[in-house]
Amino acid sequence: GVVVIDGDKQTHITYKEGIPSSSIRIFEEDNAGNVYIGTTSGVCYADENLTIHSVSNDLIDKDRILKLDADSRGKIYGSTSKGVIFTIENQTVTAAYESSALGYDKIYTLMVDPLNDSNLYIGTEGGNVYYGVFNANVNDMKRIDASQFGAIQWIAYCCDRVWIASSSKIGY
């Protein structure tokens, strides 16, 4: 579950409070202060009072959330273990796409470009990183060959570089 520590006070939140699964994978905060919780069985969010709210969509419910990332406007982007990418705005899933519907091999991860948050980096099972607009077809994205890494499982921005990682390699 989730443990929130505030000074000496600790609050433990589990499936009993409404989290879809007590197996937590990732957190991300929107601009309203809601903290989104990616679990092995979907997404929910905790408001400022630590009340848990459901975020439901047929394509992401019951799926393991692999990544959540927010842009400067507080829009949340996410990816799932089944290769679904999605957005959350105003506590609601506003878009969700299966990888194949956009022409990709299975999508594992994504990251909002911190220098241009209208664009994303998307990492795939086939060892490609794509750059462009969230819901663009693969043919409209810039392709970066990272096949020497194998499946791209994580993308992060650190030290003025975009880093990618697979299960056995890391690079920028």
Give tens-digit pLDDT for 130-155. 999 999 999 999 999 999 999 999 99
Could you give the CA distance from residue 127 to residue 148 in angstroms, rounded to a whole number? 7
CA angle 137, 139, 144 (to 5 degrees): 110
The pLDDT assigned to 67 comes to 98
Q: Which residues pair with 13 in a beta bridge?
A: 2
d(CA 14, CA 3): 9
User: CA-CA distances (angstroms) from residue 57 to 31, 52, 62, 113?
Assistant: 22, 16, 10, 25
Nearest of 135, 110, 129, 107 to residue 120 by alpha carbon: 110
Whether residue 123 contacts residue 152, with contact meaning beta carbons closer than 8 Å, is answered with yes
What global pTM score does this model have? 0.94
Which candidate, 129, 51, 42, places its Cα nearest to that of 78? 42
pLDDT value at residue 48? 94
**CA angle, residues 69, 101, 164, in degrees to nearest 5:** 40
- Residue 126: the pLDDT is 94
The rounded percent of the chain whose pLDDT value lies above 90 is 99
76 pLDDT band, cuts 50/70/90, is very high
DSSP at 113: -
Q: Residue 125: its pLDDT value, please? A: 96
Mean pLDDT rounded to a whole number for the chain: 96
Give per-residue pLDDT as tens, 8-52.
999 999 999 999 999 999 999 999 999 999 999 999 999 999 999
